[in-house]
Amino acid sequence: MDEDAREKMALHRFRVIAPLLETGLSRQDLATRRAEILATEFRLPDAPLPRRISRRTLERWLQRYAARGFKGLTPQSRSDRGLCLAIDPQILRRAVELKDEVPERTLDRLLCLLAREVEAQPGTAAASSDRVARSTLHRHLQRLGKTRRLTTAPSRTFHRFEAKVPNELWMTDVKYGPYLPGEQEGTYRRAYLIAFLDDHSRAAWGAYYIAEDLPSLLDCFKRAMLRRGVPTRVYCDNGLVFKSRQFSRVCAELGIRHVFAKAYAPQGKGKIERFWKHVDTSFVPELQVSQPKTLEDLNRLFWAWLEVDYLHRKHGETDETPAIRHDRAKIAPLDPAVAAEVFLWKEQRTVDKAGLISVFGNRYEVDARLYRQRVDIRYDPFDLSAIRILCDGRRFPDAVVLNLHRAADPRVTPASPAKPRPGTDYLRRLQQQQEATARAKLGRLEFRNPPGQEERKDV
């Protein structure tokens, strides 16, 4: 198993055990969640069909995570992986053929038929067939998708749900935004609003972006946590951008449980859909007067509306403002140093015989000990001048730039320069009020000399 496959498996294992890692759970809650996990079929990376995990496997993953964190969930590679060791491949192929002929055949019937065929054709396979256990055959047939599964499910009822405390659950989604003038005269480009909403307080953070892509999602996620703290769970739909490995890795390294909404079940996204409706009725109509020309101007207006209007407006269901309800928990924001480390992107490169690697057309020199090695690189997608080098979990000296033809990852969209625009409309009044509040907070800070020292006067 290569490094890429091991990382996929580690992310899968983290998603399985994540419900048991939340703090403040009672013994009964833990037992209930453990039973739900053991009764659920999970789809392994690159596996054709889902399967259940055993209680022993679940306990082993929890122990490894407690000892080494996310890295402890990375499986060790095996030299005999993929080999059929417990059953002769010829016997397994014949069992699959018999199952395909009559899908209703049970395991006992298959074993009986196999035994009779071996008796009729004695040889080396006979000795192997004698050692085929019923559970072994069942496991291989299940892996190949040759067993019957339950096709009926009990009817479901939906109940109103709310997280007990702030940052227990965040919801995220993407919404189409207004059109902005393009770089060329007469052209326009659509903006996309990405937002994260706290389920308990309804406090939100979001921003507009030109592209509905992974860099925009990660940038918004980082900004949200730098202001609102780190959530316990993040609930999102099954869009490709939310299922990306970079986003899953960030959640795993921060200990965030990444939860996906079930297909064709929009009931779970009601709160963020209500937030979108409030944006459409309160913020978007005012843009007809403000008429922002740049993405930066649009975001400044949105953040002013969010901080001054939305967060301090009493919510109809909670009967409190989102700001009061969220600030009551006194949650510390994400450490910027941790954010800078976690949100680095990761790629793999092979060092050539000259000790060089290529990253999006740029050439870098790496440590001489890594010649012809497969290495992991960590980098800021907006700044390719600094590349971190890791191999087998060990960090080596950073790569040295030889030729820097491209300053940023080609998958990111650089922001256009801001153009100031005066105005006196409602949204710009909110922006001015937000700036005035910030200046007032700074003005209350007192800078005094230590006790016993006279005040210094400039001459």
Predicted pLDDT of residue 423 = 43
pTM of the model: 0.64
Give the pLDDT band of residue 442 (cuts 50, 70, 90): low
Task: Assess contact for 249 and 346: CB atoms under 8 A.
Answer: yes
Task: Inform me whether the pLDDT recorded for 77 exceeds 80.
Answer: no
CB atoms within 10 A of CB 265: 11
Mean pLDDT, rounded, of the chain: 83
Q: Is 55 helix (H, G, I), strand (E, B) or coil?
A: helix
Give the sign of the dihedral formed by CA 354, CA 357, CA 387, CA 250.
negative
Task: Inform me whether the pLDDT recorded for 158 exceeds 60.
Answer: no
Q: Which two tokens stand for residue 244?
A: 């990306």
Predicted pLDDT of residue 81 = 52
End-to-end Cα, the chain, rounded Å = 72
Percentage of the chain exceeding pLDDT 70: 83
CB environment 284-293: b (16+ within 10 A), e (fewer):
eebbeebebe
Percentage of the chain exceeding pLDDT 90: 43
Q: In what order do the strands lie in the sheet with 170-181?
A: 204-209, 188-198, 170-181, 233-236, 257-260
Predicted pLDDT of residue 416 = 41
Predicted pLDDT of residue 74 = 85
Q: Is 186 helix (H, G, I), strand (E, B) or coil?
A: coil
Predicted pLDDT of residue 165 = 93
Place of tokens 């907070």: 441
Predicted pLDDT of residue 80 = 53
Q: Is 139 helix (H, G, I), strand (E, B) or coil?
A: helix
Q: Is 241 helix (H, G, I), strand (E, B) or coil?
A: coil
Beta strand spans in 182-305 (E): 188-198, 204-209, 233-236, 257-260
